[in-house]
Amino acid sequence: MFKLKRGVTSSTIFSAVLLGLLSMVIPVGQSFAASDAELKQAKKEMRESRKEIRKVMKQAREKVKQAVRGGLVYKTYCVLCHGENGSGDARMSVVHNNLSLNITKQTSEYYEKIILGGGPAVDRSMFMPTWEDELTAEQTQDLVMYLSMVTDADKRGEIVFKTNCILCHGVNGDGMGRASVLFDPPPADLTRSDKNDVYKKMIISMGGEAMGRSSVMPIWSMELSESEIDDVVAYLRKILVVPYPE
Ligand code: HEC
Ligand code: HEC
């Protein structure tokens, strides 16, 4: 289930990066490769790109808000037949026992079509009602976002990633985040990771230091729920440009 955690916002990452910056000014047993000139340049680049980072984070947070609103609409109109989070485990499933009422991963266009036009609009059962007269256009879009999120771990993971990790690991996860030049070793290029999901889950939960790696990689188990960590691990697997290590 897509779980919203309050308080895990840009402030988390900014404090993580601030910590990194501080420990660079006052090195605490951490070796940083950046010279003064590099540092100046890096800070300049950080300022310049902060806008872009903010934009990506803002977009990600907007999607979360939209999904939360969609969840409320869902609870009002859909839960009776489709159950919590589209599981299909609902009261009405007894009545429709020859139909599958769980909501599967589909495209946004498909969701929109069936919500507005009912089951027959996508060759499904007419027992799925039309909602065009019931819902506003905004509610429909919110619902579509909600359904996309609850049925797709990658999408949820992308949101977790974009709201917490991009300042270091880069918008695309390639390790080219703006803070990257400040750290040695630099934030990993997650698109070329040779680590498996189990390892990733561990380093994300427990931080770099516990894994014998850089303490610059923060501990996330206090900020993120276990399902959010699973989601972000799923997303990291999706963005790999090298084969997944067997
Ligand atoms: C009266 C019961 C009922 C209600 C209420 C209901 N649905 Fe459905 N829904 C169905 C049935 C029946 C199907 C079709 C099952 C089939 O044909 O296999 C379906 C199918 C769907 C599907 C397709 C699932 C898939 O994986 O292909 C989606 C998406 C969906 N409904 C969304 C919604 C949304 C969003 C709401 C609330 C606005 C809603 N439904 C309310 C009965 C209902
Ligand atoms: C403050 C900067 C920073 C932030 C924020 C950060 N990381 Fe990291 N991360 C690092 C650094 C530095 C390393 C490399 C550690 C090393 O090589 O010793 C790393 C390594 C990793 C690795 C290991 C990859 C591999 O192939 O070995 C994973 C996975 C990872 N980070 C995921 C995440 C995720 C997911 C988030 C957000 C929830 C995140 N990181 C946020 C700095 C950061």
The residue ranges of every structural domain in the chain are 16-58+153-238, 78-150
Mean pLDDT of 95-118: 89
Distance CA 39, CA 29 (A): 19
Question: Ligand 1 within 6 A of 81 CB?
Answer: yes
Distance CA 154, CA 172 (A): 14
- Cα(190) to ligand 2 centroid in Å equals 8
Q: What is the pTM of this model?
A: 0.81
Among 1.10.260, 1.10.760, 1.20.58, 1.10.1060, name the CATH number for the domain at 78-150. 1.10.760
On the question of a common fold for 16-58+153-238 and 78-150, the answer reads yes
97 sits in which H/E element: none
Q: Which pLDDT tens digit goes with each residue over 136-171?
A: 999 999 999 999 999 999 999 999 999 999 988 989
Judge whether residue 12 has pLDDT over 50.
no
Residue 96: its pLDDT value, please? 64
Mean pLDDT of 88-94: 69
Which residue's CA is the nearest one to ligand 2's atom 7?
217
Judge whether residue 199 has pLDDT over 70.
yes
Mean pLDDT of 32-41: 77
Query: Quick one: tokens of 32?
Result: 């940083």
> Which numeric CATH code is attached to 16-58+153-238?
1.10.760
Which residue's CA is the nearest one to ligand 1's atom 13?
128
Q: Which pLDDT tens digit goes with each residue over 42-52?
A: 777 767 777 88
Query: Are the C-beta atoms of residues 102 and 88 closer than 8 Å to each other?
Result: yes
Q: Which pLDDT tens digit goes with each residue over 164-185?
A: 999 889 899 999 877 777 889 9
Question: Ligand 2 within 6 A of 183 CB?
Answer: yes
Which residue's CA is the nearest one to ligand 1's atom 14?
125
Question: Ligand 2 within 6 A of 237 CB?
Answer: no
Judge whether residue 206 has pLDDT over 80.
yes
Q: How confident is the model at residue 32 (pLDDT cuts 50, 70, 90)?
A: low
